[in-house]
Amino acid sequence: MKRPTIVEVAAHAGVSKATVSLVLRGSDQIPEGTKSRVRESMVALGYVYNRRAAEMRSLRSKTLGLVVANMRNPYFAELTQAVAGRAYSNGFTLLLGCSDDEVSRQQEILRAMIEHRVDGIALLPATRTTSRDLESSLVQAELAHVLIARSVVGYGSNYVGPDNRVAGRLLGRHLGEKGARSVAFAGGVSGTAPRRDRIAGLVEGLELTGGRLSSDLPSARDALFEAQRELNGVLGGASTLPDAIVGYNDMYAFGVMNALRSRGLEPGRDVMVAGFDNVPEAATQHPGLTTVDGFPQRAGAEATELLLRTLGARRQSVRVRLSLNRSCESGCRRRCTKRSPAMESCEPRNAHASRRSD
Amino acid sequence: MKRPTIVEVAAHAGVSKATVSLVLRGSDQIPEGTKSRVRESMVALGYVYNRRAAEMRSLRSKTLGLVVANMRNPYFAELTQAVAGRAYSNGFTLLLGCSDDEVSRQQEILRAMIEHRVDGIALLPATRTTSRDLESSLVQAELAHVLIARSVVGYGSNYVGPDNRVAGRLLGRHLGEKGARSVAFAGGVSGTAPRRDRIAGLVEGLELTGGRLSSDLPSARDALFEAQRELNGVLGGASTLPDAIVGYNDMYAFGVMNALRSRGLEPGRDVMVAGFDNVPEAATQHPGLTTVDGFPQRAGAEATELLLRTLGARRQSVRVRLSLNRSCESGCRRRCTKRSPAMESCEPRNAHASRRSD
DNA sequence: CTGAAAGCGCTTACAG
DNA sequence: CTGAAAGCGCTTACAG
């Protein structure tokens, strides 16, 4: 039951501990004969390297921490996969924590990870995280860290993720060009950096094209299901519909689509709908959802690389891109001169026609 | 930069290392006066507990490993969140690895985790994992482990996840009752345990109600997008459509819906479509997808508990449940006598009308 | 109630 | 090329 240590291996092979240690790390100072003898002993005894003991002595943990708000948003899941992959391919072990979007829990997880002596932490912060929270944990511990996907108001450094302002601008301009004059924004938690930036960008983009943000619908917690409920409330009292509704993210946008349908309205035909993120499901919904691609794979990979290089304070944006789909085709209808033979002439579905950000 | 250790704290407080250690672990043998003096020293020096050193000495790592095939399937993402939550609330740290559904990579990750001396491993195995792969890693290391969500042919023990046979049976019977006489199964990798069990159950359920499995469409790798392509090929050559198409999982089922639409067919009306898992998106698609709920939260939580209790070899099933939605309403159409005022009279949407498994 | 010593399984200089 | 010794930061008996 008890696993053999290098002491046992050394005795079995008739060498010293130090020699075994050198063999373990493939030193080229040990002649082949000794090496193979030691290796045979390891096999014979069923030796398993104890990485933690090694790291303890050498004072490097070769470990990274990832704390995410939740896993239900496919964007976050994909990010997590990318971080795990990058950590792995660099020989790092990844500790995962899930805050359930609660700051107190997040702080406890961070603390535990710091006690574990991770070399760095990638944090997808809980919605209500303040810069003070970060100061009292990551900064105070002088730990290399990077925020992914969500930046925090008042905490400018070490962010890797979409530039939400540019993303909003891309979408705003697109909607304006499609003929949207009044646009509503739905979902997200007000006061948070991503929401603020997306709205700011949206307004800028709309202004370029003659549209405007007509309302800012109240927000809710659980995107997929709550957006639908809240929207029902708002639309119920509204006398006129906006030309377009932009969800805080794709999950909200899906909820918006449902809310519209439950009122007998067809998204894309009666009201344009758009989101942010470009989760895989965006292309497979009906109609496909026009959204801004936030490239989670790239964000996760770059955040990890940044962490690994222990680069100092930097702010890094992942390029965003419009992902055009049918959910915004109503504007197209009004403006396209020839509608036949197919709508596709106006906007290809799933074609990822791209309009890159500057 | 270098963090203070208990030696520094002890010197600062004028006590021995052992006393500091006892204070750290809240021993009640130390009088309050000493405790608070020591604690003040810790604060003064900015002491941070080194969990790894402690675990090294006490030979318990308080660490669990989770290796998942991928994160893109929302079912897996939710499972991961549940495992993370349960590990956390039991004071365990979670190491995460992602195999990208490749066995060789999975084996390397397992090895690394074993070297890290995790106390146990939860494995959502890569598709082509054999029992031999498990023998040579987890079993040989005599490590507590549990398979989640996917069982492996020939490896009977330590599985927590849906009983796919029961799940298939539930769905088969439902489809038969809806009037389906010919049913096609699409997707998954042939030879794998979950696919085999789902099909076997489906056949049983159909037999009870006069239906039959008409074909077993070839499988593909990437559910969401590939299912659509493969189905196009198959349907293109087929002269008659089946009454229903069952996807290997919900992601495949979504692909099936798209494939049908791209041929001008409306899922739910022209052909019934169903899946397995009940990912959140199932309810928000249009039409909502009828599927069998596999309760990922529960599976993740129970797997973790099982691991923590280090119970020996057991096989544990998570209860499954039919999740009825409109994607199977065509059968309803044929059979319901009164169709008005609403289809809802036949099958409530999102109501999670449940038919529990025995 | 508190301290001195040994030890967890490795690595790291330093000799030879 | 290989060994003896010290040490990573804790905990654990064992004294007193």
DSSP string, A206-239: HHHTT-EEEEE----SSHHHHHHHHHHHHHHH-S
Give the CA A314 to C1' C12 distance in Å.
35
Residue B42 Cα distances to B13, B31, B59, angstroms:
9, 17, 25
Residue A140 Cα distances to A9, A103, A145, A309, B48, angstroms:
43, 17, 12, 20, 11
CATH class of B59-162: alpha beta
Nucleotide with C1' nearest the A51 CA:
C10
Give me the pLDDT at residue A236, please: 54
Give me the pLDDT at residue A217, please: 57
Residues of A within 8 A of B257 (CB-CB) are 284, 286
Please tell me which of the candidates B71, B254, B284 has its beta carbon nearest to residue A81. B71
Q: Which residues does B58 contact at the CB level (< 8 Å), separation at least 6?
A: none
Residues of B within 8 A of A52 (CB-CB) are 52, 55-56, 61, 116-117
Q: Which residue is nearest to nucleotide D13 (CA to C1')?
A: B18
Task: Report the candidate in A10, A18, A2, A16 with the shortest Cα–Cα distance to residue A42.
Answer: A10
Q: What is the 3-state secondary structure (H, E, C) of A93-141?
A: EEEEEECCCCHHHHHHHHHHHHHCCCCEEEECCCCCCCHHHHHHHHHCC
The two beta strands, B159-162 and B120-123, are: unpaired
Please tell me which of the candidates A94, A115, A257 has its beta carbon nearest to residue B48. A115
CB contact under 8 A, B81 and A96: no
Give me the sign of the Cα torsion angle B51, B56, B59, B63: positive
CATH class of A164-294+320-345: alpha beta
| Chain A residue with Cα closest to B97 | A84
Q: Half-sphere exposure of residue A17, counting CA atoms within 13 Å on the CB side?
A: 6
Is B49 (CB) below 7 Å from strand D? yes
Residue A287: pLDDT band with limits 50, 70, 90: confident
pLDDT exceeds 70 at position A232: no
Fold of B164-293+320-345: Rossmann fold (3.40.50)
Nucleotide with C1' nearest the A8 CA:
C9
Q: A-B interface: how many C-beta pairs under 8 angstroms?
A: 137
Please tell me which of the candidates A93, A113, A114 has its beta carbon nearest to residue B112. A93
**DSSP H helix total and E strand total for chain B:** 14, 12
Q: Which residue is nearest to nucleotide D2 (CA to C1')?
A: A19
| Chain B residue with Cα closest to A254 | B284
Q: How many Å lie between the alpha carbon of A257 and the closest alpha carbon of chain B?
A: 9
CB contact under 8 A, A95 and B97: no
Task: Report the candidate in A282, A300, A241 with the shortest Cα–Cα distance to residue A265.
Answer: A241
CA B311 to chain centre: 20
Give the CA B43 to C1' C3 distance in Å.
23
Both structure tokens of A74: 């496919």
Predicted structure pTM score:
0.83
DSSP code for B356: B
Residues of A within 8 A of B51 (CB-CB) are 112, 115-117
Q: Is A112 on the interface with B (CB under 8 A)?
A: yes
Q: How many Å lie between the alpha carbon of B47 and the closest alpha carbon of chain A?
A: 10
Residue B300 Cα distances to A56, A95, B121, B147, B198, angstroms:
31, 17, 12, 10, 20
Residues of B within 8 A of A349 (CB-CB) are none
Give the Cβ contact number of residue A239 at 10 Å: 4
Give me the pLDDT at residue A350, please: 35
Q: Is B238 on the interface with A (CB under 8 A)?
A: no
Residues of A within 8 A of B115 (CB-CB) are 48-51
CB contact under 8 A, B112 and A51: yes
CA distance B212 to B196: 16
Give me the pLDDT at residue A1, please: 53
Residue owning tokens 């067919």: B265
Residue owning tokens 């939710």: B78
CA distance B353 to B350: 8
Question: Letter for the amino acid at B338?
Answer: K
User: Strand, helix or coil at B170?
Assistant: helix
CA distance B184 to B216: 6
Best of B49, B88, B343 to disrupt the A interface (most A CBs within 10 Å) is: B88
Q: Where in chain A do CATH 3.40.50.2300 domains reside?
A: 60-162, 164-294+320-345
Give me the pLDDT at residue B106, please: 97
pLDDT exceeds 60 at position A151: yes
CA distance B114 to A93: 12
Both structure tokens of B78: 């939710």
Q: Where in chain B do CATH 3.40.50.2300 domains reside?
A: 59-162, 164-293+320-345
Give me the pLDDT at residue A192, please: 86
State mean pLDDT over A315-331: 65
pLDDT exceeds 60 at position A223: no
CA distance A314 to A157: 6
pLDDT exceeds 60 at position A354: no
pLDDT exceeds 80 at position A111: yes
Give me the pLDDT at residue B81, please: 96
Residue owning tokens 């619908």: A217
Give me the pLDDT at residue B227, please: 53
Give the Cβ contact number of residue A72 at 10 Å: 18
State mean pLDDT over A174-182: 91
pLDDT exceeds 50 at position A150: yes
Q: Is A70 on the interface with B (CB under 8 A)?
A: yes
Fold of A60-162: Rossmann fold (3.40.50)
| Average pLDDT of chain A, as a whole number | 82
For each successive 10 residues of chain B (358 residues), what is the average pLDDT?
A: 85 90 86 88 91 87 93 93 94 95 96 93 95 94 92 88 95 92 85 90 91 63 48 57 89 84 84 92 83 95 88 48 72 38 33 37
CB contact under 8 A, A115 and B50: yes
Q: Is A59 on the interface with B (CB under 8 A)?
A: no
Q: Are B327 and B284 in contact (CB under 8 A)?
A: no
Give me the pLDDT at residue B340, please: 34
β-pair partners for A95: A65, B95
